[in-house]
Structure 1
Amino acid sequence: MRGIVLTACLVIFTNIWAVGEGESNDTTVTDVSYKDALAEAEQFMNRLDDKVSGWYSDRAFSYIDTAFNDSTSIANVPDSVFIQRLKKLSEETVIELPFNERVKAHIAVYTDKKRAVTSEILGLTDYYFPIFEEELDKAGLPIELKYMPVIESALKPRAFSRAGASGLWQFVYYTGKQYHLNVNSYVDERRDPRKSTQAAIKYLSDLYDIYQDWYLVIAAYNCGPGNVNKAIRRSGGKRDYWEIYYRLPRETRGYVPAFIGAMYALNYYKEHHIIPVKANIPMHTDTLIIQEPLHFDQVSAVLNVPEEVLKELNPQYRRDIIPGGSKSYTLTVPVSVTGQFVELQDSIFNYKDDIYFSEKRETVDPTASSGYVPSSIAGKTKLYYTVKSGDNLGYIADWYDVRISDLRYWNNIYRNLIRVGQRLVVFVPTSQKNKYVSINQMSFAQKQGTASYTASTAPVQTTTGHDPDYIYYKVRSGDNLWLIARKFPGISSDDIKRLNNLTSNSISPGQLLKIKPKG
């Protein structure tokens, strides 16, 4: 049953390496020229450059010039030297390390053509290799598998392929989910160094259960077991990587030679005068458990830790936010600030928390934010009014004794925009239906005659004439109708103009404005 599940799910995993040459019936790899192999190897590395896009070159490294003597160029090194060096390496590895023109080409890329990339990778091995080695040892897998992320991502946890593969081990979304890596808008555990390593080890272990051969496992990791199985069938059942080489997908053929080339380069870089470039990542860290939402800026501001350092140590957080809440998350920090974090954690979580985090509402009351509550239409009759030339919402609201805000709400009107011929819904008390039913047929003068007041340009009196049934507001310096209306939920500037017979937005300090009925 297990094998069936694996065949169904593991084939999902893909990678973007696309190097090599066309299909051939040959079953050996010794017939290729070194020049052609080198061109393929350079293509392979260029695709790696596309993945990482120079992100670390700008942020994680302090560059220094690497010494290079032309006499140490790979062109001047006899093949026997490479064979001897690989033989020495293989004394400590389970996975064999053969030599051929394709392996030599990848050695050339790492030690000559892409020396700067190799320098960067060497700078990162001090941080990432201990993680890989610990997890591989715990699982009982060959330690030399730690070189796989070198050819997958150049040890860049934010590496992202065109096929959607992400992280040090380049998991695509569905395979990551299959191996319990959480991916959502805040977190991408494919970029978590330890969790992605644990997932990759499970994946590699499952593949080894199928093939019992590490080079076939490495090939299947790249192109999926379905493609490896197809290559085995087409080769008449042969189960040696080099014998099925030309039956594999083009993008997979360079994968094993690159693996051997990377292992060689990272062990014999001194012989090629390559100097590791130190990465600006703290080598000594602690991992803290976080159970509340936390932004990197909060940690950075209180503990004076550069935000870039937090990003480097915690690449799994996509928005520099640890979501917290119902589950716990980890935060990796320099060991030098662990004590400070524990001591100052209240200050850290409280620092500008109202800016970085707002409560996610479980229930919503539309009136809570707008302040507007539509008038009830219970016990009211629906009437229709057809807009005529010269009409505006203020007039229509006055003719029917309704609020402009209600008129907008009933008719889904944005601002005060209405057009001639538009049919508006109006709700009026059923007991007064006869008073309003004929308004739609009246002339403008007749409708104005029904209004509760007539328009006037006279200013509102500020000391006398108060209507005890209304709430008033005294205009202050700097006020305008919009600002005043905001002080009273459910009231608009047009409502104030209508109640106070204003024909413009002009008001004066000291002026007394009628706002709304009491009660």
Structure 2
Amino acid sequence: MHARFLDTGVRALSLLSFCLVSLSWPALAGTELPTPPQAEAPATAEPIPEDAQPSIQEPEYSLDEEDHATAAELEAVEPPAPIASEPSTEVPPAEALLQLKPLNGTTARFTDLLTPPAEVAQEEAAAQGQESEEATAYNVPIVLDPSVQGHIRFFNVSIRNRFEQWLIRLSHYRPLVDSIFSEFQLPSDLIYLSLVESGFNPHAYSRARAAGPWQFMKGTAKVYGLRVDSYVDERRDPVKSTVAAARYLRDLYDLFGTWPLAMAAYNAGEGKVMRALHTAQAESFTDIAKTRLIRRETKEYVPRFMAATIIAKNPDRYGFPQNDVQPHQFEEVVVKRPIHFKAIANVTGISYQELKVLNPELRRDATPPDDAEYHLKVPVGTRAKVEQLLDRAPTHKFAPLPIPVRVRHVKPEPESGHWYRVRVGDSLEKIAKRFNISVKTLKSNNNLTGPTIRAGSRLVIAN
């Protein structure tokens, strides 16, 4: 007993001594804690415990068969850019962005020495009504929790080359998207939603049959004015699909009042998010993300957007090069009859692949047959030439579209006079009288021992 109390006292004295030394250390040292040099920054992030480390589900983007060649041609037309083969070891990971603050006499905990990243400081400053560079760095809510950090590693390490291609392609279309979002008074950072949707690939096609850079489903696309038929799919048009996405995002924000909920609804549908909020009696995306009321894909969608935004707005920090990419520009020519891209290329000398890149919405590489006028996009500076030589191009004749055959599966009915379906109110006597047979024969044909029959059952009338 005495030994136990003595051991407890020794432990208490040791702990008290350690605390006193920790509190007096800044005064005794008299100097600030030196910041480690950049070269000594860790090359990789410290692993998060398994229970805290999110399981990243890679978004799947696929191309339908008719678009495999088009996607390759798209990459061939865009200016080449160097692709990093592996992450730069000189760029610290997200956890290394915490910087040490100078020591002072009030420092009592090691965590007091750490300056939170801008992503976390932004929310704190916004809550306190403070205005600073950190608070205005992002115009949509951004946090840096373990889930977002996991997606940052996923983009920065697991699919680094692919994500770099996404950034390059987005730079090609960015001036166009910025002008449209500005017209609809949307936060400019919402442009990075297209990174997690498709990498801004006009030919992206998902297994759920969503298409285009903003991954519209056919029904939603038509609601927002996009044409989708056998000849034209405006979900692939970078201009028209971006206008539709801006209208849809604005409507979702007006409905839910916060961007995380609006983005979740963009992924899952406003009905599912509204039902989840109502069932959970919740008011935020964070609340419903803790439940099973929304799918895992939607739970990861908002953190994935935040991770893509952090990297895209800080490419130097993560070692992604910033290359000068030619913006998406074009002129329009009014075409009044169906003409194939190859015919236009033959008479004008414009590249066939370039016409395909500028007009990804034309599914059959030709202007549609039933349009009195179609605005065909051509390279800048070639409009006059195309208008002058367009009459020399032959009219394109489309192959007839296959007629969809609807197979109606009809359950075969028994031959008349051999079978009979029992109706309500029927009896063996009535059925026997109707078909001019005896009750004994009817019971024998159907192996019946009693007078009871059920409505809906079938009776053999004659063998």
Superposition TM-score tier, normalisation by shorter sequence: 0.5 to 0.7
1:14-34 alpha-carbon deviations (Å, 9 max, x no partner) = xxxxxxxxxxxxxxxxxx956
Distance apart, 1:219 and its partner CA: 0.4
What secondary structure is seen at the aligned counterpart in 1 of 2:375? strand
For 1:221 and 1:147, the matched residues in 2 are separated by: 14
1:84 and 2:118 aligned: yes
Q: Is the 8 A contact 1:158 1:191 kept in 2?
A: yes
For 1:233 and 1:282, the matched residues in 2 are separated by: 44
One-letter identity of the residue aligned with 2:212: G
Select the residue among 215, 238, 245 that pairs with 1:170.
Answer: 215
For 1:358 and 1:55, the matched residues in 2 are separated by: 20
- Which position in structure 1 is the counterpart of 2:285? 241
The number of aligned residues is 320
For 1:35 and 1:58, the matched residues in 2 are separated by: 42
For 2:49 and 2:368, the matched residues in 1 are separated by: 52
Q: Which moved more, 1:78-87 or 1:169-178?
A: 78-87
What secondary structure is seen at the aligned counterpart in 2 of 1:321? coil
What secondary structure is seen at the aligned counterpart in 1 of 2:272? helix
1:273 and 2:273 aligned: no
Q: Is the 8 A contact 2:203 2:211 kept in 1?
A: yes
* Larger RCO (CA under 8 A, 6+ residues apart): 1
- Which position in structure 2 is the counterpart of 1:380? none
Aligned ranges for residues 96-115 of structure 1 at < 5 Å?
96-115=141-160
For 1:346 and 1:123, the matched residues in 2 are separated by: 37
Select the residue among 270, 295, 298 that pairs with 1:252.
Answer: 298
- Which position in structure 1 is the counterpart of 2:55? 40
Aligned ranges for residues 119-518 of structure 1 at < 5 Å?
119-236=164-281, 238-247=282-291, 248-275=294-321, 283-347=328-392, 351-353=393-395, 356-357=396-397
> What's the Cα RMSD here?
3.1
For 2:305 and 2:351, the matched residues in 1 are separated by: 35
One-letter identity of the residue aligned with 1:357: K
For 1:275 and 1:130, the matched residues in 2 are separated by: 19
Q: 1:305 to 1:286 in 2, by over 3 A?
A: same
For 1:57 and 1:114, the matched residues in 2 are separated by: 19
Q: 1:314 to 1:37 in 2, by over 3 A?
A: farther
For 2:278 and 2:68, the matched residues in 1 are separated by: 38
What percentage of aligned pairs have identical amino acids? Answer: 29
- Which position in structure 2 is the counterpart of 1:72? 91
Q: Is the 8 A contact 1:34 1:105 kept in 2?
A: no
One-letter identity of the residue aligned with 2:58: F
In the alignment, structure 1 segments of 5+ residues that lack a partner are 1-31, 361-519
Q: 1:35 to 1:288 in 2, by over 3 A?
A: farther
- Which position in structure 2 is the counterpart of 1:11? none
What secondary structure is seen at the aligned counterpart in 2 of 1:332? strand
Q: 1:316 to 1:38 in 2, by over 3 A?
A: farther
Distance apart, 1:57 and its partner CA: 5.9
Q: 1:92 to 1:343 in 2, by over 3 A?
A: farther
For 1:117 and 1:278, the matched residues in 2 are separated by: 18
1:411-468 alpha-carbon deviations (Å, 9 max, x no partner) = xxxxxxxxxxxxxxxxxxxxxxxxxxxxxxxxxxxxxxxxxxxxxxxxxxxxxxxxxx
Q: Is the 8 A contact 2:62 2:204 kept in 1?
A: no
For 1:290 and 1:37, the matched residues in 2 are separated by: 58
For 1:346 and 1:272, the matched residues in 2 are separated by: 52
Aligned ranges for residues 12-23 of structure 1 at < 5 Å?
none
1:190-228 alpha-carbon deviations (Å, 9 max, x no partner) = 111111111122222222221111111110110011221
Q: 1:282 to 1:231 in 2, by over 3 A?
A: closer
Q: Which moved more, 1:79-88 or 1:95-104?
A: 79-88
For 1:334 and 1:300, the matched residues in 2 are separated by: 12
Q: Is the 8 A contact 1:38 1:109 kept in 2?
A: no
1:251-300 alpha-carbon deviations (Å, 9 max, x no partner) = 10111111111111112122222235777x77432233333212111221
For 1:358 and 1:337, the matched residues in 2 are separated by: 26
Q: Who wins on radius of gyration, i.e. which is larger?
A: 1
Q: 1:127 to 1:89 in 2, by over 3 A?
A: farther
1:110-140 alpha-carbon deviations (Å, 9 max, x no partner) = 2222221222122212332222211111112
Distance apart, 1:59 and its partner CA: 4.3
Q: Is the 8 A contact 2:221 2:227 kept in 1?
A: yes
One-letter identity of the residue aligned with 1:272: Y
For 2:223 and 2:62, the matched residues in 1 are separated by: 28
Q: Is the 8 A contact 2:331 2:378 kept in 1?
A: yes
One-letter identity of the residue aligned with 1:239: E
1:64-97 alpha-carbon deviations (Å, 9 max, x no partner) = 3427433426277345688226745651543121
For 1:54 and 1:264, the matched residues in 2 are separated by: 33
1:132-172 alpha-carbon deviations (Å, 9 max, x no partner) = 21111111222221111111111101111111101111111
Q: 1:308 to 1:84 in 2, by over 3 A?
A: same
One-letter identity of the residue aligned with 1:44: E
- Which position in structure 2 is the counterpart of 1:461? none
